[in-house]
Structure 1
Amino acid sequence: MNIVLLGPPGAGKGTHAARLAEKYGIPHISTGDMLREAMREGTSLGLKAKEYVENGALVPDDIVIGIVKERLQKPDCSKGFLLDGFPRTVPQAEALDTFARVDRVINIQIPFDKLMDRITHRWLCEKCGASYRIEDPDKSDLICEKCGGKLYQREDDKPETFGNRLKVYEAQTQPLIDYYEKRGILININSDQPIEGTFADICKALGSDVS
C-alpha cells in the first residue's frame, strides 16, 4: 500500500507514521530523511541539494521530486511506502503521480484551539526528550521526573510562533487536500482523542484492525 500522510505540526503524525510503517512493513519516508540520505550517498541530486542546504536556501522542487523518485525505486519500497512531508503542494502531487501510485492519503485533523492548547503547553526535557504538559511554568520546578534534566519550551511551540505555523500550514495544504479529495483517496481522521483511538481509526480506514 502506498500512503501519503498529511497533518499539521503537533497532531501526532510522526507517532502514527512509525506505527503504520511497522504494521504494514513499509518504509516511513520523510522529506528530511530523503534529503539527508541522498546527500550522504553523494548522488548527483544529493550533491545539488547539499549546495542549497549548506547555503541555508530551500531545495528547489525539481531536485526534491527527483530525490523522491530515486528513493521510491529502492527495493524496500517494493511492497509500498509511507510518505511524510511530501508532497507539500499540488505541483509536487502532480509530479508524484507521474512515477508512483498513491492508494490512500491520510489527513490527520484536530481543531485549531485544541492543537494550540496541546502544543503551547508542551515542555521537553533537554536530556531525555520526555514531553510534559505545563500549565503554569512560573509555578513549576521544570525538572524532568524521569532523569532530572531541565525542561524547556521550543521556540516554535510558543503561542505566537506556533499560531503562525498553523496558519501557514493550512494555507499551503488546503489545495493539496482538495486535490486528493477530488480523486476520492483522501481519508480524514480525527486526532482529538487518545492516540490508540486515532491509530485504530486509521487502521480501520485502511481496511484492517490494529493488531
Structure 2
Amino acid sequence: MTNIVLFGPPGAGKGTQADILKKKYNWVHISTGDVFRYNIKNNTELGDLAKSYMEKGHLVPDEVTINMLKAEVDKNEDAEGLIFDGFPRTEAQAEALSKLMAEKDTQINAMVALEVDDEVLVKRLLERGKVSGRADDANEDVIRERIAEYYRKTDVLKKYYQKRDKYYGVDGEGSIEDITKRLSEVIEKL
C-alpha cells in the first residue's frame, strides 16, 4: 500500500491531480474537507461533535479529525493506496497520522507538494473564481493572503517530512498531463 500526503497552495491543482492519480493507481482520495462535510451533513456522531466546535468559532480538535480520518481509512482497507488532501496541517497532526498508519501496518510514504509560482496561482484562482463563483477566488488580496497563510502554516510540515526523507517537491506548472507525468515519476520511485 502506497500512501501520500498531497500538498500545494490554493490553485496548485491538488484536486485535479488527486482525481487523476486515484484512477491511475486505484487509490482512494481522502479530502479532509469532504470528510468533514459528509460527517456533518449525515449527522454522524463525529460530525455533530465537529459542528459543535465550528458553530462556536473554534477549531475542531485534532482527535476528532483523526477519528474521522480513521473511519475513512477503515472503510478503505483494501485500497492499493491513499491520497491525503488537506491533512495534516500541523506537526502534531502529522505525528497522529503516522501513528494511525502504523496501527494499520502501513505508513505515509511521501509528502508530495505541487510547487507553483505565486503569480501563476493568483492568475489560476482569479480564472477559477470567474467560473466557480467562489468569493474567495474573486478577490486578489484574499487570494494572496490565502497563499501567504499556506506558506506560514505548511513550512513546519515541509521540514517534518524532509527530516524523514519523505518530502518531494514537484513542479506544478504546465499542462495537466505534464504535471501528472512528473508526479508519477516520483510516485513510481516510492
TM range (shorter): 0.7 to 0.9
Paired residues of 1:107 and 1:188 also in contact (CA < 8 A)? yes
Question: C-alpha distance in 2, partners of 1:13/1:160?
Answer: 22
SS of 1:21's equivalent in the other structure is helix
TM-score (norm 1): 0.78
Counting only pairs closer than 5 Å after superposition, residues 113-192 of structure 1 correspond to structure 2 as 113-125=119-131, 129=132, 154-192=135-173
Paired residues of 1:27 and 1:82 also in contact (CA < 8 A)? yes
Partner in structure 2 of residue 51 of structure 1:
52
The structure with the larger Rg is 1
Question: C-alpha distance in 2, partners of 1:77/1:189?
Answer: 28
For residues 153 and 111 of structure 1, do their structure 2 counterparts lie closer, same or farther at Cα, with a shift above 3 Å needed? same
Offset, 1:61: 1.7
C-alpha deviations, 1:141-191, integer Å up to 9, x for none? xxxxxxxxxxx5734442111111111110000110111111111111101
Aligned residues: 183
Partner in structure 2 of residue 27 of structure 1:
28
User: What value does the CA root-mean-square deviation take over the aligned residues?
Assistant: 2.1
Partner in structure 2 of residue 97 of structure 1:
98
Percent identical residues: 36
Larger fraction in helix: 2
AA of the residue aligned to 1:26: W
Is there any run of 5+ residues in structure 2 with no aligned partner, and where? Answer: 102-106
Counting only pairs closer than 5 Å after superposition, residues 13-24 of structure 1 correspond to structure 2 as 13-24=14-25
SS of 1:124's equivalent in the other structure is helix
Question: C-alpha distance in 2, partners of 1:154/1:46?
Answer: 25
Paired residues of 2:128 and 2:137 also in contact (CA < 8 A)? no
SS of 2:120's equivalent in the other structure is helix
TM-score (norm 2): 0.86
C-alpha deviations, 1:73-113, integer Å up to 9, x for none? 11355422111001011110011111111012110001122
Offset, 1:203: 0.6
SS of 1:99's equivalent in the other structure is helix
AA of the residue aligned to 1:175: V
Question: C-alpha distance in 2, partners of 1:153/1:67?
Answer: 26
Question: C-alpha distance in 1, partners of 2:78/2:48?
Answer: 23
1:88 aligns with 2:89: yes
Question: C-alpha distance in 1, partners of 2:78/2:64?
Answer: 20
AA of the residue aligned to 2:30: I
Offset, 1:54: 4.2
1:110 aligns with 2:116: yes
Question: C-alpha distance in 1, partners of 2:128/2:44?
Answer: 38
Offset, 1:50: 2.5
Partner in structure 1 of residue 7 of structure 2:
6
Q: Of the two structures, which has the highest relative contact order with CA contacts closer than 8 Å and spacing of 6 or more?
A: 2
